[in-house]
Amino acid sequence: MTSLDLVMERIEKARLAVSAHHIVQLIAVSKYSTADEVAALYAQGQRAFGENKVQDMESKMEQLADLPLSWHFMGNLQSNKINKLIDLNPALIHSVSSLELAQAIDQRLAAKGKKLSALLQINSAYEETKGGVTPEEAVDVFTTITASCPNLNLKGVMTIGAHVEDDAVIQKSFETTRAIFEQLPDASICSMGMSGDFELAIRCGSNMVRLGSVLFK
């Protein structure tokens, strides 16, 4: 069995525990992997990949331009990299971490006559080292971005689970994010769960997991 098969089995088990109708999309995070390793995973059937640096995403996209891959961006986005990211035309930006960043991206999109899909990042465990809006302000910020950023198609929310050992604390960060997601009438994507916590994330309602180390070994 390949590592992709094993991961798919684990996702399948976790999602069926929620409901037979609960579909979970897998994004393979290739930030610590080479283009050859991405191509190997593609050969096993994986199509969606993620990176957290604009430069690395550009380089992988160039090296793998012949393959029909979709690319997701999920890193801290500096304003001087916004234009470059837009030009790469990612399938989804997971890491819109503030109203200001959303408006900056929207302005550049307007200037280029383009649109992009994105998620609002929630700092669900109030961690200083992480970006994102607080759970308290999330619904307001989401609504304001939707109303004021016509070129940014906000499709849902993303969070990184609490960086602790205690599963109960991690679970709470996922439940907090899912509760916000449920208050957003037009949201369809709840992106949460990484290699160490994706089954818990799925049980808490995630429908998009972002897995790196468990896939690329």
Ligand X SMILES: *Cc1c(COP(=O)(O)O)cnc(C)c1O
Binding residues for ligand X (CB under 6 A):
29, 31, 52, 74, 160, 194-196, 210-214
User: Which stretches within the chain are classed as H helix?
Assistant: 3-18, 35-43, 54-63, 82-88, 99-112, 135-148, 167-182, 198-203
Amino acid at 3: S
Smallest gap from Cβ 156 to ligand X, in A, equals 15
Tokens in use for 127?
């961690």
Nearer to ligand X, 107 or 205 (CB): 205
Smallest gap from Cβ 112 to ligand X, in A, equals 25
Nearest residue to ligand X, using CB? Answer: 212
Amino acid at 184: L
Nearer to ligand X, 59 or 148 (CB): 59
Nearer to ligand X, 33 or 176 (CB): 33
Nearer to ligand X, 7 or 149 (CB): 7
Smallest gap from Cβ 208 to ligand X, in A, equals 10
Q: Which residues contact 206 (CB under 8 A, 6 or more apart)?
A: 24, 174, 178, 190, 191, 192, 193, 198
Helix (H, G, I), strand (E, B) or coil at 67: coil
Smallest gap from Cβ 172 to ligand X, in A, equals 19
Phi/psi at 11 (nearest 5 deg)?
Answer: -65, -45
Amino acid at 159: T
